[in-house]
Structure 1
Amino acid sequence: MATLAVEHHPLAQSVSFDTDSLIVELVDGRTISVPLTWFPSLSKATESELTDWEILSDGEGIHWPQLDEDLSVNGILVGNHGRR
């Protein structure tokens, strides 16, 4: 029987949004979708601010320069919420 190997260091390759969610596509083919309400600075951001993002450290994190917001992909996967 084959065993599925789970990536222990997930890496982001792209970011998108819908009206309620942050959507992160990983280099291994998975897609993560979490509520924007988990991240107050993102949920209050304009479309222009949301779409101005950068991949950090070869995909380990995401940075929004206009918002001074950084999220780790691993943190999103384990359910860490943004600042309260």
Structure 2
Amino acid sequence: MTSLAFETDEMRPVKAWCTADEVHVGLADGRSIATPLWWYPFLGGLSQTELNEIELMYEGIWWPAADEGISVKSMFLGLKSPGAKRPRAAA
């Protein structure tokens, strides 16, 4: 199996959802991955309903309300969107 096949077959998203703090993706091979929501500033203005209106793509997920998406590979590699800033801790 080539690495390309691994990225497209076994890492294919089969479900996705957002909590108040994280983006979660369930993969075809049974694994799950979660990344902080703040990694994706383009999601910042979406309601919880819009955050969970996610389209599954072969290599990632897409939010129609934001007209943006992310790849599963970028989640695994820890690649944040440009402009992502960690929120300040509550005092």
TM-score where L is the length of structure 2: 0.75
Q: How many residues align?
A: 76
1:18 CA displacement:
1.7
1:53 CA displacement:
1.0
Other-structure match for 2:42: 41
1:12 equivalent in alignment to 2:13: yes
CA deviation profile, 1:8-56 (whole Å, cap 9, x unmatched): 3111111112221111111111110111011112233211211111011
Other-structure match for 2:66: 67
Residues in 2 aligned to 1:62 and 1:24: alpha-carbon distance in whole angstroms: 8
Other-structure match for 2:78: 79
CA contact 2:60–2:69 (8 Å) conserved in 1: yes
TM-score where L is the length of structure 1: 0.80
Residues in 2 aligned to 1:22 and 1:46: alpha-carbon distance in whole angstroms: 14
